[in-house]
Structure 1
Amino acid sequence: MDYFLEPIRRYADFTDRTRRRDFWMYVLIYNVISLIISAIEISNDSKWLGGLYGLVLLLPSLAVTARRLHDTGRSGWWQLMWFIPVVGWIVLLVFLCQDSEPGDNEYGRNPKADFAGIE
C-alpha cells in the first residue's frame, strides 16, 4: 500500500524521479480502487463518488507521472501527449514503460541506485 500512499504524500512534488515499479504499482492500486468505487456507485445509484476520487487524486497522479517521465530523462510536460488521441497515448505509454535513464540526470539521482548499490 506504500506504493499508493507515497505519491499521495508527495502530491505536489514535481521534481526528482520515480522508479518504473513504483509508478505502475500506483497505477494498479489507483485502478483497483476506482473499480471498487464504480461498483459501489452502481449498487447505490450515485455518481459523485468516482468524480470526487478522481479530483482528489488528480494532482498526485500528475506529480508521480512527471517524476516517472523525469526518470526516463524527459520533462513532465510530455504528459500533454494525453490530449492527442491514440498516437499521443501510445507514445506516452512507451515513455512510461521505458527503463530508468542510467546514472544521474538533470532531474536527480537514479532511484535504482539506492537499491542496487549503483553510484
Structure 2
Amino acid sequence: MDWYLAVLKNYAGFGGRARRKEYWMFALVNFAIYVVLAIVGSLLDTSLLTALYGLAVLVPSLAVTVRRLHDTGRPGLWILIGLVPLIGAIVLIVFAATEGQPEANSYGPNPKLSPAVA
C-alpha cells in the first residue's frame, strides 16, 4: 500500500524514474480498487464511483507510466503507443516489465540505489 500512496503523493511528477515494483504495485492496488468499486457500483446500480475514481487517478497513472518508461531509457512520449489498439497495450506492458537501466540515464539515477519506500 505504501507504493500506491507514494505514487499518489507524487501525482503530477512526470520527471525521474520509477522502479518496476513501484509501477506494478500501483497497478495491482489500482485494479483491486476498481474491482471493489465496480462491485459496489453494480449493487447500487451506478457507475459514478468508478468514473470518479478513474478521473482521480488518471494523472498519477500517466505519471507513473512515464516515469517507468524513463527507467527503461525511453522518453515519456512512448506512452502514446498505447493509443494503437491491442498492439500498443502489449508494447506498453512489455516496456513496463522490462528491467530498468542499471546506470544513471538522462532521466536520473537508478531508483534501485535510492532509499526504498517500503
TM-score by length of 1: 0.93
In the alignment, the residues of structure 2 paired with residue 114 and residue 5 of structure 1 have an alpha-carbon distance, to the nearest angstrom, of 18
Counterpart of 1:8 in structure 2 is: 8
Q: Gaps spanning 5+ residues in structure 1: where?
A: none
Offset from partner CA, 1:27-86 (integer Å, 9 cap, x none): 000000000000000111112110000001000000000000000001111111111011
Counterpart of 1:24 in structure 2 is: 24
Q: Gaps spanning 5+ residues in structure 2: where?
A: none
Q: Return the offset for 1:114.
A: 2.6
In the alignment, the residues of structure 2 paired with residue 114 and residue 51 of structure 1 have an alpha-carbon distance, to the nearest angstrom, of 35
**1:16 is matched by which residue type in structure 2?**
G
Counterparts in 2 of 1:27-42, with a 5 A limit? Answer: 27-42=27-42
Q: Return the offset for 1:89.
A: 1.4
Identity of aligned residues (%): 44
Q: Which SS does the other structure have where 1:112 is aligned?
A: helix
TM-score by length of 2: 0.94
Counterpart of 2:94 in structure 1 is: 94
RMSD of Structure 2 on Structure 1 (CA): 0.9
